[in-house]
Amino acid sequence: MPTTTIGVLTAGGDCPGLNAVIRAVAKPLLHEGFRVVGIEDGFRGLIEDRTRPLGVDEVSGILAQGGTILGSCNKSNPRRFATGLNPDGSPRIEDVTGRCVATAERHGIDALIVIGGDGSMSCACELREGFAARGRELRLVGVPKTIDNDLWGTEVTFGFQTAVATAAGALDRVRTTAESHHRAMVVEVMGRNAGWIALHAGLAGGAEVILIPEIPFDLDVVARVVKERAGRGRRYSMIGVSEGARPIGGAKIVAKVDPTSPDPIRLGGVGKFVADEIERRSGVESRYVVLGHLQRGGTPEAFDRVLATAFGHHAAGLVASGRWGRVAVMSGGRVTDIPIEDTASRQRLVPIDDPTIAAARAVYTSFGVA
C-alpha cells in the first residue's frame, strides 16, 4: 500500500532546532504530494487523538523559532503510560497502544517521523512492535534530537551547539562576579550521563576545572586547584560540572524520581555539592549556578538551524523513497542514516581519549583527577 499521510511528532525534552526540522520535513513532502499531519505533545497526541494538519503556511516562518510548534512530552510511552493511580497511590501503568492505532486509523496516518533522542527512538520501536501485535504496520523514520549530544550513531545532534553557546556564555558572565568577589564559581549544566555540554562549554568558557560523568573526580584535587590558584594571586576559579558527574567511589546525585516517566531518574544537585566541598576543603568562598532549562530554550544557533534542516531533508527523502526503519545521522561529516534500533536506549558518551579532553588538558584544565 503506498504511503500518503505522514505523522510528525516531537518527543522528549524540547530542543533548539525542532521547528527547523518540522519545516524541513514538511515542505518537501508536501511538494511531493504527501499529506502531513502534526501530532501534538509527542506520543501523547497519538494516545489522546490530538493532531492538526501541517500545510506550507503552518511551517513557514518557524526556522529560527525556539521550542516546537507541536509541543512535546517526556512522559508518554504508549506501551507504559500512566493512566491514573492504583489504590495504594502508585501510578497505574498500562499499554495504550490500541488508542494509538485508533488515532492513526482515524486520520489515515500511514507512517511516523519521530524527532527525538534515545528514549524517544526506543518508544517508537516499542510502539511499532505494539502495532504489529495488533496486525498493523507502523512505518518509522527518525531524526536525532538532544542537547546532550549523546545519541548513539551520530557525531552530533542539533540543539547541542546552542546549549553549549548558552552554557559558555553563562561561564563568561559568572566569571566577572567570581573575579569581583574572589570566589570559586561552580556552573552546573545538563547532559544526563554524558559530559559533552560540560566539556565543550567548559573549554569555550575557560573553566579551570571541568567535571564530567565519564571521569569520576577527586574532591581534594578540585579543592587543591582552587587553593593553589588563590595562592598565586588568582583569587577566583571557574568550575563547569555536568549534572551526571560524581566523585570517585560515589554515586550520581538524584534530584527526584518520577515513576510516571519512561526515564524516571532526574539528576541534579552536584553543583551545590561541589561548591560546598570546595569551600570546606580550600577555605575559598564558593557559589554555584544551575543553568537547567535555560540550555533548552531560545533561538537556535545558525549551526543548529543548518543541521536540523539537513536532517529533516534527509528524513523526508527516506519517506519519499520508502526506506523505513531508518534514522538520519551525521557520520564522517555527512548526513546518512542507520537502523532506528541502533539508536534506541543507547547513549554516546565522551571517550576518555577524545581530542577535546586532550586539548583541555594541554591548556592546564583539570578534570578533578591527579
Instruction: Report residue 9 as a C-alpha cell.
Output: 511528532
DSSP 8-class letter at 342: G
Q: How far apart are CA 106 and CA 114, in angstroms?
A: 19
Q: Say how many CA atoms lie within 13 Å of 242 toward its Cβ.
A: 33
- 30 Cβ partners below 8 Å, 6+ apart? 36, 54, 55, 56
Q: Where in the sequence numbering do the catalytic residues fall?
A: 148
Closest by alpha carbon to 216, among 361, 351, 367?
Answer: 367
Q: How far apart are CA 21 and CA 115, in angstroms?
A: 8
Spatial strand order of the sheet with 5-10 comes to 51-53, 35-39, 5-10, 111-116, 139-144, 326-331, 334-339
